[in-house]
Structure 1
Amino acid sequence: MSGFPLQYPPGRELTGGDLLAQSLKHLGVEVAFGLHGGHLDAFLMGCENIGIRLVDSRHETAAVQAAEGYCRVSTKPVVAFVTANSGFSNGFPGLATAYGDRSPILCITSSPPLRDTENNALQGMIDQVVAARPVTKFAHRVVAPEECPRIVSHALRVAQSGPPGPVLLDFPIDVLFTPVHAKLIAWGSISSPRSYLPGPHEEAIEAAAELLATAKRPVIITGTGSRNARQGILQLAEACNVPVFGTSKFASFTPKSAMLASATAGVLATLPLVHLPRPDLILLLGTRTGMFLGGRSHAIIPEQDCKLVHVDCDGGEVGRTLSTDLGIVSDVGVFASSLNKKLGNSPEVQVDKSWVQALLNLSSAESPYEKDPEQTSSGRLHPYHAVEHVMSSIEPGSIIVLDGGEASVWAGDLSSRCQPSLVMTATGYLGCLGNGFGYALGAAIGAPERKVVNIQGDGSAGFHLMELDTYKRFNLNILTVVINNSRWGMSINGQDLVYGSDHLARPVSSLSSGTRYDIVAEGLQNETARLDHIADIKSTVSRLQSKTGPGCIDLIVDHKPVHPITTAMVGLTDDPNSVVVPYYDNIPRSYYKS
């Protein structure tokens, strides 16, 4: 036998659901996030018997996003489970986000019995495999219980190899409940050793070393594709005096290093404003060009006088947006190890150390809002000061999850104040609000030794606030902070910028000023507080984080001033021959004004 010893449940036959659960356990799965559905009972009983921890959320979208959050903090494979059709439809946004953000999760769903295909059966109207294919790397319906080991091991390899991403397996209910014929089990490669990660060509390493040797102002920018390569990257950075920046989407701050910036790569856009030269070499490691790196504006990655080395496991991402001087298809960890070996203990570099230090110091520069009054003319708290007090009070080493529009960027700017271990922007490339509830859930399960802080705007909080109940049922150390300005802040401020702030009503951009998120959270058994005085913030945050279990703060702030990122994204211009396209690059008029 090339598989694993079967474990027969006491008092009943081994079913397809049991074999599925045991296959997952053998492949390293320890946790599955989801929501109950009777179609999945045979699988859920199999998980219980074999020791896979089941974490049930209040909504399927949050369950799939919890699997995403888990894989951001853990190297172990992870599963999300959603029931047939209704659960699948609710979980679909999570799959789409995972696909956009390259999260290697396995989603398990079920469907009506095979004999009821096209029979208008309960929860059988949507062909889930067909629907899932555009947003997964692999989607397949398993039609025999004995095929579980072979298909599951294949699906997980697909999810984790090359550019990572979600996969989906559909198990008709009769396949899960049918007893297994042991002699017919298709083991596939479930017990095969793990494949080696892809590595760079020797000539590519030589070319990268040559570019690094001649650079005076090199910078490393890391993304989610480098999260398991931190040690090698920091070794390279320290040997060559190259500062390392994460992106606003994903910034890891462990292990610590003198070359690891506390700001994200967005700070590179401010160099002309502070009269510092821009980089002459950027090593882009495991992160994609596009919205999180300034798009085609070249605000972060210069267009002129800067070489770009792009390392990614997906060759299709190299050169997708920007001209690349050296593209390398490789796992980032293998690349860093190979380059470190090539450079040796005494690499020849010409780095301007004073420029490097000035760049690293930028993150500690005083904010332009520091001298603003702590309360605005409306009587509400200034968002900068309120969020600064929150961030300064969070336990060092916490995991910060950012969600919402302006709320997330105010918090992202100030996140370094608490010396976090990791900062994740949950909205991702799809811009889905509310993801942070699932991300925080997954992070808390995947890294139970750390506190998790779930930052929400009051808009994004409305999507999955019931997950506070999940946090309490599992007694997770998650502090949710709702930055409450009674508006869709980025929406209304964007409308004001484009159409003028003349106090006219703005369509579909206001929320109720009377909503009490703290009272809702109290009803869900979270420790709570409502804060509208600056003097109360630090002590309250410290008190809530010191308790075991979840907490929620309703932080009352003003929607003004407009955060600079909103102004930048709207892209107003005095050029009469440009059409302002908010949140994207402006376009030229089809006709010119004289």
Structure 2
Amino acid sequence: MASFSLKEPSSRELSGGDLLAQSLGQAGVEVAFGLHGGHLDAFLMGCELAKIRLVDTRHETVAVQAAEAYAKFSSKIGVCFPDDDQKGSFGNGLPGLATALADRSPILCIASSPPLRDIETNCLQGIIDQVVAAKPLTKLALRVTNAEETPRLVSHAIRTALSGPPGPVLLDFPIDVLFSPIHKPLISWGSITSPLSYGPGVHTKAVEEAKKILESSSRPVIIAGSGATSVSARDELAKFSKAYHVPVFDTLKYSVSTIPTDSPFFGGPAEKLAYLSILGKQRPDLVLLLGARTGMFLGGRAGGTIPPDCKLIHVDVDGGEIGRVLPVALGAVSDCGQFLAALNKNSTTPSHVDEEWVKDVLSIRHIPSPFEQAPPLQPSNRLHPYHALKTVFSSVEPGCIVILDGGEAGLWGSDTLAACSPSAVVKATGNLGFLGNGFGQALGAAVAVPDRKVVSIQGDGSAGFHLMDLDTYKRHGLNILTVVVNNYAWGMSINGQDMVYGGVESARPISSLSEGAEYNQVAKALGNGSAKLERIEDIPEAIRRLQGQAGPSAVNLIVDRSPTHPGTEAMVGDTKDPKKVVVPYYDNLPRIIYGE
């Protein structure tokens, strides 16, 4: 095919691994994350020829997570290759596929398996059928049994990952397929040289109905998720919110901000809408939900974020999500940018919107934290986590990318991150609540956007998952500052236990961590700049010094595990109601009291 000129190796035959690498290059792939494995050597050598940058990690899950973040920040397919021989194998990458599926991350996972002739011989990597294992965690999982079919199947996999609701796909290449020479006349090019197709457009009737509902609303808000973060969607959203005077809130599960944070209609994270009822203010009568899914992180069915009596317009590329949890007044299967562009045609500033109410809603973002007046030093002589992280964020470079990991550490970080005016925020735990994802997410973000500093917030619990990848940051010279918020405990766990079992003389099983863990020493041994910080006055100078150095650094930030973060209290629920059975992290159940 004229537009795809195969590069011939100078000292060997063109192999299946070469054709795979060059097919990826033709599709626009520039970076791939993974670990070396002998099964994949032909592909890795092919990447050198195709000028695809290989970023090697210390764990397979980190490689998949890095591909996730790279996809989000580059707006391209993320590619990873979990190792496929004795180091741990493809199985270690499965958690990454699970989070990519839950968080709608378009990634292509390249795996390798035993030679086709060795099926069912109990050989290396042959005990588990990797395609079968991956199918429940991907949009598509295929084994490529003929090397000449590679371009066609690579194109098919990438289109599947990017179309509709994005998600992970997997291609498994038996080792003999990768190492065998290519018979060029038999190559099936498929659509590897064709441009990608456009996403789903909006139905005209849906736009008309949406305008009618908007015109009948006086208290509308927008909640925008990761499906509304494309450049076109952000531009149309900013235009729409300004024209209609509608406040915009982010889900912030995994997104670049959907409109500029200095926009007069930016309201901040959607969970702040719950403050309206606490403050005695009217709640929205209409929610326009764009590219976001209902569920736990939007208040579930309890109505904390989306009021049960409001109208709901839900726009998503996945029709299966519309009405899945909450009833809708209108559902539209559409690309969010296309939907907003259609709404913006002939739009005029509405006279029916309650402007005073809009001011009330937008003011929520600036409500001071109840911990603002708390002393920075707790009775334990350890730092208050709110003040410790606020000081960290006040000291980092403005416009950085912030990755939030951990349980309560991530919540405290979310409360204070505005102090650094971040350019993007990722709540790395995602919809599955996976701890430790932040190491890979920081890696992918740093590779995708090398001109931005990355700040990765970890709890001492989440830090234990992938701390060795500080070595990866060093080897690749990445400007990532890792902050381990160290309270010597699984904070959300131990504080949740205190809430449920408080006042009872009992153990707090397996919720404490070692007070001897010196994360700064580990970071130093792995070549990172490092500091241990226990006093507020030491934080600014140390953070500026570390961020001023080239390459990665890490901070061991010692804080108290008290007070309990309000987010933990909200997730555990009311533990004092005698008529309820406490079910932490879910809606409590009514207690059946016999004899009443």
TM range (shorter): over 0.9
- Indicate which of 457, 478, 481 corresponds to 1:479: 481
What secondary structure does 2:527 align onto? coil
Count residues with an aligned counterpart.
591
- Indicate which of 320, 342, 349 corresponds to 1:316: 320
What secondary structure does 2:81 align onto? strand
Aligned to 1:4: 4
Please state how far the C-alpha of 1:338 moved relative to its aligned partner.
1.2
Aligned to 1:46: 46
Aligned to 2:297: 292
- Indicate which of 422, 425, 449 corresponds to 2:424: 422
* C-alpha distance 578-567 of structure 1, shift in aligned 2 (>3 A): same
Q: Distance in 2 between matches of 1:2 and 1:155?
A: 22
Q: Distance in 2 between matches of 1:409 and 1:181?
A: 56
Q: Aligned AA for 1:434?
A: G
Instruction: Kindly indicate whether the alpha-carbon contact (under 8 Å) linking 2:298 and 2:306 is maintained by their aligned counterparts in 1.
Output: yes
Q: Is 2:231 the counterpart of 1:231?
A: no
Q: Distance in 2 between matches of 1:97 and 1:517?
A: 26
Aligned to 2:263: 258
Alpha-carbon displacement from aligned partner over 1:473-509 (angstroms, at most 9, x marks no partner): 1111110000000000000000010011557431000
Instruction: Kindly indicate whether the alpha-carbon contact (under 8 Å) linking 2:287 and 2:312 is maintained by their aligned counterparts in 1.
Output: yes
Aligned to 1:351: 353
Q: Is 2:321 the counterpart of 1:329?
A: no
Q: Distance in 1 between matches of 2:210 and 2:595?
A: 48
Instruction: Kindly indicate whether the alpha-carbon contact (under 8 Å) linking 2:248 and 2:267 is maintained by their aligned counterparts in 1.
Output: no
Q: Is 2:572 the counterpart of 1:567?
A: no
Q: Aligned AA for 2:438?
A: G
**Paired residues for 1:62-211 under 5 Å:** 62-84=62-84, 86-211=88-213
Q: Distance in 2 between matches of 1:574 and 1:471?
A: 46
Q: Distance in 1 between matches of 2:414 and 2:520?
A: 23
Instruction: Kindly indicate whether the alpha-carbon contact (under 8 Å) linking 2:253 and 2:427 is maintained by their aligned counterparts in 1.
Output: yes
Higher mean alpha-carbon deviation, 279-288 vs 537-546, is at: 537-546
Instruction: Kindly indicate whether the alpha-carbon contact (under 8 Å) linking 2:242 and 2:265 is maintained by their aligned counterparts in 1.
Output: no
Higher mean alpha-carbon deviation, 260-269 vs 139-148, is at: 260-269
Q: Distance in 2 between matches of 1:152 and 1:592?
A: 62
Please state how far the C-alpha of 1:213 moved relative to its aligned partner.
2.0
Instruction: Kindly indicate whether the alpha-carbon contact (under 8 Å) linking 1:66 and 1:441 is maintained by their aligned counterparts in 2.
Output: yes
Q: Aligned AA for 1:266?
A: E
* C-alpha distance 278-148 of structure 1, shift in aligned 2 (>3 A): same
Alpha-carbon displacement from aligned partner over 1:235-267 (angstroms, at most 9, x marks no partner): 101111111111141353364552453630010
Q: Distance in 2 between matches of 1:233 and 1:533?
A: 43
What secondary structure does 1:195 align onto? coil
Q: Aligned AA for 1:221?
A: I
* C-alpha distance 447-349 of structure 1, shift in aligned 2 (>3 A): farther
**Paired residues for 1:392-471 under 5 Å:** 392-471=394-473
What secondary structure does 1:424 align onto? strand
Please state how far the C-alpha of 1:457 moved relative to its aligned partner.
0.2
Aligned to 2:246: 242
Q: Distance in 2 between matches of 1:399 and 1:198?
A: 30
Q: Distance in 2 between matches of 1:257 and 1:233?
A: 14
Instruction: Kindly indicate whether the alpha-carbon contact (under 8 Å) linking 1:2 and 1:191 is maintained by their aligned counterparts in 2.
Output: no
Please state how far the C-alpha of 1:354 moved relative to its aligned partner.
2.2
Alpha-carbon displacement from aligned partner over 1:401-452 (angstroms, at most 9, x marks no partner): 1100000000011111211111111111111110000000000001111111
- Indicate which of 243, 258, 281 corresponds to 2:286: 281
Q: Aligned AA for 2:263?
A: A
**Paired residues for 1:364-375 under 5 Å:** 364-375=366-377
Aligned to 1:524: 526
What secondary structure does 2:323 align onto? coil
What secondary structure does 1:482 align onto? strand
* C-alpha distance 260-541 of structure 1, shift in aligned 2 (>3 A): farther
Instruction: Kindly indicate whether the alpha-carbon contact (under 8 Å) linking 1:109 and 1:168 is maintained by their aligned counterparts in 2.
Output: yes
* C-alpha distance 296-212 of structure 1, shift in aligned 2 (>3 A): same
Higher mean alpha-carbon deviation, 397-406 vs 362-371, is at: 362-371
Q: Distance in 2 between matches of 1:190 and 1:486?
A: 51
Q: Distance in 1 between matches of 2:543 and 2:216?
A: 48
Instruction: Kindly indicate whether the alpha-carbon contact (under 8 Å) linking 2:17 and 2:42 is maintained by their aligned counterparts in 1.
Output: yes
Instruction: Kindly indicate whether the alpha-carbon contact (under 8 Å) linking 1:307 and 1:325 is maintained by their aligned counterparts in 2.
Output: yes
Instruction: Kindly indicate whether the alpha-carbon contact (under 8 Å) linking 1:2 and 1:187 is maintained by their aligned counterparts in 2.
Output: no
Q: Aligned AA for 1:339?
A: L
Q: Aligned AA for 1:457?
A: G
Instruction: Kindly indicate whether the alpha-carbon contact (under 8 Å) linking 2:38 and 2:84 is maintained by their aligned counterparts in 1.
Output: no
Q: Is 2:304 the counterpart of 1:302?
A: no
Instruction: Kindly indicate whether the alpha-carbon contact (under 8 Å) linking 2:499 and 2:575 is maintained by their aligned counterparts in 1.
Output: no
Q: Distance in 1 between matches of 2:157 and 2:329?
A: 35
Q: Distance in 1 between matches of 2:255 and 2:11?
A: 50
Q: Distance in 2 between matches of 1:264 and 1:503?
A: 38
Instruction: Kindly indicate whether the alpha-carbon contact (under 8 Å) linking 1:31 and 1:55 is maintained by their aligned counterparts in 2.
Output: yes
Q: Distance in 2 between matches of 1:255 and 1:272?
A: 27
Aligned to 1:340: 344
Please state how far the C-alpha of 1:2 moved relative to its aligned partner.
6.8
Alpha-carbon displacement from aligned partner over 1:165-193 (angstroms, at most 9, x marks no partner): 00000000000000000000011111223
Q: Aligned AA for 2:246?
A: V
Q: Distance in 1 between matches of 2:74 and 2:394?
A: 26
Instruction: Kindly indicate whether the alpha-carbon contact (under 8 Å) linking 1:240 and 1:349 is maintained by their aligned counterparts in 2.
Output: no
**Paired residues for 1:22-41 under 5 Å:** 22-41=22-41
**Paired residues for 1:498-509 under 5 Å:** 498-500=500-502, 504-509=506-511
Q: Distance in 2 between matches of 1:506 and 1:51?
A: 53
Alpha-carbon displacement from aligned partner over 1:539-583 (angstroms, at most 9, x marks no partner): 221221222211101100000000011111111244433211000
Q: Percent identity?
A: 60
Please state how far the C-alpha of 1:146 moved relative to its aligned partner.
0.2
Aligned to 2:275: 270
Q: Distance in 2 between matches of 1:513 and 1:294?
A: 35
Instruction: Kindly indicate whether the alpha-carbon contact (under 8 Å) linking 1:530 and 1:554 is maintained by their aligned counterparts in 2.
Output: yes
Q: Distance in 2 between matches of 1:209 and 1:16?
A: 53
What secondary structure does 2:89 align onto? helix
Alpha-carbon displacement from aligned partner over 1:445-478 (angstroms, at most 9, x marks no partner): 0111111110000000000001111111111111
Q: Aligned AA for 2:574?
A: L
Q: Aligned AA for 1:145?
A: A
Instruction: Kindly indicate whether the alpha-carbon contact (under 8 Å) linking 1:3 and 1:187 is maintained by their aligned counterparts in 2.
Output: no
Higher mean alpha-carbon deviation, 283-292 vs 360-369, is at: 360-369
* C-alpha distance 188-563 of structure 1, shift in aligned 2 (>3 A): same
RMSD: 1.4
What secondary structure does 1:465 align onto? helix
Q: Aligned AA for 1:406?
A: E
Q: Distance in 2 between matches of 1:46 and 1:331?
A: 36
Q: Distance in 2 between matches of 1:588 and 1:272?
A: 23
Instruction: Kindly indicate whether the alpha-carbon contact (under 8 Å) linking 2:481 and 2:552 is maintained by their aligned counterparts in 1.
Output: yes
Alpha-carbon displacement from aligned partner over 1:493-531 (angstroms, at most 9, x marks no partner): 000100115574310000011110000000011111110
